[in-house]
Amino acid sequence: MHLTNEQEELLENGRFGERKAMEILCALGDIFGADRLVPISSAHVSGVSYKTIGDAGIEFLTDMSQGTRVKARTTANPIAMDRQRWKEMGIPEGFAQKQMEIVALYEKMGVEESWTCTPYLAGNRPSRGDIIAWAESSAVAFVNSVIGARTNREGGPSALASALTGLTPRYGLHVDDNRKATVIVDVSSPLKGKDFASLGCIVGEFAKDGIPYFRGLSASEDELKSLGAALASTGSIPLFHIEDVTPEHSNAVTDRLERIDVDRKDLDEKADELSSDEEPDLVAIGCPHLSMKELEELASIRETKRKGTEIWLCTSRHVYGQAKDLLNRLESVGKVLCDTCMVVCPIEERSGVVATDSGKAAFYLPKFCSQKVVFDDVESIMRRFL
Ligand code: F3S
């Protein structure tokens, strides 16, 4: 991979974090055949929850942050607790201190106090064609597909390396030809509610790391958020197209492609497969983090006589700030938690069965958090627990 003199200098004589960052980017560029490094307009880093990265992660961030600051606008994924309500979440003091050490290290490097998987709803919204370096698979799927920005599916270290240098290797989804569809998905039933998550789980399993092109689908931005998160969970899908909906759909199909059909029976079977018959001891909505519109819908629920089971509504601190007028109403529906989510917090310490409408959460909670899941529409879940 070609480096400019300035980039060579950073690699040889930069500060510790800059040298490490350049080493990571050069190694990735060489592996994936990048021709050069290109400037980014924003980064989004993952690897911020103490539950996920532990003490080894704190050590890595301590080293990387020595005298180094981000060179592009950078937001970060959810942490393991709400920074204000962590005691209510049952988080032990020692754990909270470790988490705040991680927060402080990122802030020292100039990362914004964002702590959300939906940075595109929290002020860091790229434009079509922007070159960015984002981690967080659901956000990658959203910005590539719904906005038409360009990022590979970065991991925590490579996104941080891009943040600290303002650069990313040009390969993969930064190249036009690699953004074409690899499989056509014909959806033959109208979708609503949890169907988008079920569809994402089905197609993610089938297409793996490919690029699906959906036909017969119309969807709101929130439904696309849910679809993309599920696609990126059961598969590693970084980009999808929807005919007549997403910005790059018109040039996405070039060859004769493999085709699959998804109908009502497939969607219902997938929903059954994701769900158990156990009695939930926690309801967790907001994976990915809830948008303002979703909070408004939740706030409009009339009957709010809680039946005892705790309800979490997870959103970003940014959207929470916009929802000030709704908070009383929302708090009668559930506990509004910011900065965190059901998967990256230590949920296994307080719960065993979680009800959720999220395909991503339904996929990850059993795998990484020892939880059983009840998967259903938000409306049905709320009817059952309010
Ligand atoms: Fe976001 Fe947590 Fe889901 S990071 S996408 S709410 S697993």
Which tens digit of pLDDT belongs to each residue from 203-240?
999 999 999 999 999 999 999 999 999 999 999 999 99
What does the pLDDT read at residue 304?
64
What does the pLDDT read at residue 386?
82
Query: Cβ of 153: how many Cβ atoms within 10 Å?
Result: 22
257 and 282 belong to one structural domain? no
Burial 267-301 (b: 16+ CB within 10 A, else e): beebbeebbeeeebbbbbbbbbbbbbebbeebbeb
How far does the centroid of ligand 1 lie from the alpha carbon of residue 369, in Å? 13
Between β-strands 167-169 and 37-39, what pairing exists: parallel, antiparallel or unpaired?
A: antiparallel
Task: State the total domains in the chain.
Answer: 3
* Structure tokens belonging to residue 352: 């065993």
Q: Of 77, 158, 65, 157, which is closest to residue 110 (Cα–Cα)?
A: 65
How far does the centroid of ligand 1 lie from the alpha carbon of residue 316, in Å? 11
210 and 68 belong to one structural domain? no
- Which atom of ligand 1 lies closest to the CA of 117? 1
What does the pLDDT read at residue 321?
98
18 and 145 belong to one structural domain? yes
- Domain of residue 84 covers 5-176
Indicate if ligand 1 lies below 6 Å from the C-beta of 299.
no
318 and 266 belong to one structural domain? no
Last residue of a domain, one of 150, 176, 202: 176
pLDDT at 342 over 90: yes
* Structure tokens belonging to residue 345: 């917090």
Indicate if ligand 1 lies below 6 Å from the C-beta of 344.
yes
* pLDDT, mean over the chain: 97
pLDDT at 33 over 80: yes
311 and 202 belong to one structural domain? no
Indicate if ligand 1 lies below 6 Å from the C-beta of 225.
no
14 and 110 belong to one structural domain? yes
- Cβ neighbours of residue 39 closer than 8 Å, sequence gap 6 or more: 72, 131, 166, 167
9 and 155 belong to one structural domain? yes
Mean of the pLDDT values across residues 69-91? 98
State pLDDT tens for residues 104-114.
999 999 999 99
What does the pLDDT read at residue 255?
82
91 and 127 belong to one structural domain? yes
Ordered alpha helix ranges (H), the chain: 5-13, 16-32, 50-64, 93-108, 137-142, 156-165, 195-207, 221-234, 264-274, 292-299, 317-322, 327-333, 359-369, 378-385
Indicate if ligand 1 lies below 6 Å from the C-beta of 287.
yes
pLDDT at 247 over 70: yes
What does the pLDDT read at residue 97?
98
State pLDDT tens for residues 126-138.
999 999 999 999 9
What does the pLDDT read at residue 308?
87
122 and 139 belong to one structural domain? yes
- Cross-strand bridge partners of residue 261: 186
Query: Where does the pLDDT of residue 307 fall: very low under 50, low under 70, confident under 90, or very high at 90 and above?
Result: confident
Last residue of a domain, one of 118, 141, 176: 176
How far does the centroid of ligand 1 lie from the alpha carbon of residue 257, in Å? 32
224 and 360 belong to one structural domain? no
Query: Cβ of 25: how many Cβ atoms within 10 Å?
Result: 26
| Preceding amide of 119 cis, omega within 30 | no
Q: Indicate which CATH number applies to the domain containing 298.
A: 3.30.499.10
How far does the centroid of ligand 1 lie from the alpha carbon of residue 5, in Å? 40
What does the pLDDT read at residue 303?
66
288 and 360 belong to one structural domain? yes
State pLDDT tens for residues 146-191.
999 999 999 999 999 999 999 999 999 999 999 999 999 999 999 9
Q: What is the pTM of this model?
A: 0.98
128 and 205 belong to one structural domain? no
